[in-house]
Amino acid sequence: MARLPVLIDTDPGVDDAWALLMAFASPDHEVVGLTVTAGNVGLAHTVRNALRLCEVAGVDVPVFPGCADPLVFPAEDAAYVHGRDGFGDTGYLPPARKPEAEHAALAMVRLSHAHPGLLLVCLGPLTNLALALRLDPTLPARIGRLVVMGGAVTGQGNTSVSAEFNIAFDPEAAHVVFEAFPAYDLVDWEAVLRHGIPHADVERWLEAPGPKAAFYKAISRRTREWSEDRRGTHWHSADGLAMAAALAPDGATGWVRHALAVETGGRLARGATVVDWGGRSGRPARARILLGYDPGRFRALLAGALGVPTGSDPPA
Ligand code: BDR
Ligand code: CA
């Protein structure tokens, strides 16, 4: 059977890196490009990280540099989580490969024509996609499914009290995207918190043979230490959960559809994703929000991406 084309917009990022390895490892999908944005760290780093990760994974996927800044207002990166270079400051070997000359937003539009029905997975701030939508408002008609990692659907954020990082980094872009797509799937931060993986299991998987686990072990070391210190016994793979829901939607155990709006002003809640739980707004219910995902399936996708042999991981 033909593999489903998938385009990934990303800001790697330790978290993104694992999700990208999941996509590269999927036998049912063909990654047709990585469009890269600033977010976790600056664009020069996120592009370089994407290129290096492709080399480590042994995949020949074009990398398109996109927006270096949010659409309107400057935002703070997450170097305190991912390291100054976004990949744990390990001083890894610079990539030999070069990025494409085409801008990420233009590549999105072009690839949507080349692969109508494309699966689009967004793992970072939505700046590139918002720009692509302004260039070509007909874009959603050629996207088979949009999956976004972002938001905090009851206002329990991770970057501010009420906002999640990807949306808070560029709320105007998120507004453009969520108003343009008639339907999209959302994997929010609060879902991520319900799907933690014990650090002990992650550490065992990182001993898998081969370059992917070794590389990921090195680049994630500081983030794992930070995470254990700040969030306790479990690792939270936000982009990984979104990628699981994107690649294997049958692993989802529940979704709910609601209208959603992004707070772009606000003194306390800029970047918050305001969900119309009670159906009061009369606005269309475009967001399909992930409620749960099969833990065994999630673990298998995560472990497999690192090269852990199938069946060798004890069940959750
Ligand atoms: C999101 O923010 C980033 O730090 C991660 O890569 C993920 O996409 C989680 O809020
Ligand atoms: Ca990300």
Residue 261 has pLDDT above 80, yes or no: yes
Which of the residue ranges 64-68, 228-232, 263-267, 272-276 would you say has the lowest mean pLDDT? 228-232
Q: How far is the CA of 282 from the centre of ligand 1 (A)?
A: 31
Show the beta-strand stretches assigned E in the chain.
Answer: 4-10, 29-36, 63-65, 118-122, 143-149, 184-187, 197-198, 234-235, 252-258, 260-262, 273-275, 287-293
Cβ neighbours of 282 (radius 10 Å): 7
pLDDT of residue 162: 97
Calpha distance 28→26 (Å, rounded): 5
Digit-coded pLDDT (tens) for 28-52: 999 999 999 999 999 999 999 999 9
Q: How far is the CA of 2 from the centre of ligand 1 (A)?
A: 31
The CB of 237 under 6 Å from ligand 1? The reply is no
Q: Look over the chain and give the mean of its residue pLDDT values, rounded to a whole number.
A: 96
On the question of a cis peptide bond just before residue 13, with omega within 30 degrees of 0, the verdict is yes
Architecture of domain 4-305: Alpha-Beta Complex (3.90)
Domain residue limits, the chain: 4-305
- Mean pLDDT on 144-171: 98
Structure tokens at 316: 């959750």
- Best of 11, 127, 148 to mutate for ligand 1, by most ligand atoms within 8 A of CB? 11
Q: pLDDT category, 316, cuts 50, 70, 90? A: low
Select which of 45, 103, 195, 236 is catalytic. 236
pLDDT of residue 315: 59
- Mean pLDDT on 259-275: 96
Residue 311 has pLDDT above 80, yes or no: no
Digit-coded pLDDT (tens) for 90-131: 999 999 999 999 999 999 999 999 999 999 999 999 999 999
pTM beyond 0.95, yes or no: yes
Digit-coded pLDDT (tens) for 191-241: 999 999 999 999 999 999 999 999 999 999 999 998 888 888 999 999 999
Q: How far is the CA of 41 from the centre of ligand 2 (A)?
A: 10
Cβ neighbours of 194 (radius 10 Å): 13
Find the angle CA(45)-CA(4)-CA(312) to the nearest 5 degrees: 75
Calpha distance 160→305 (Å, rounded): 31
Identify whether 236 is a catalytic site residue: yes
pLDDT of residue 126: 99
Calpha distance 122→17 (Å, rounded): 13
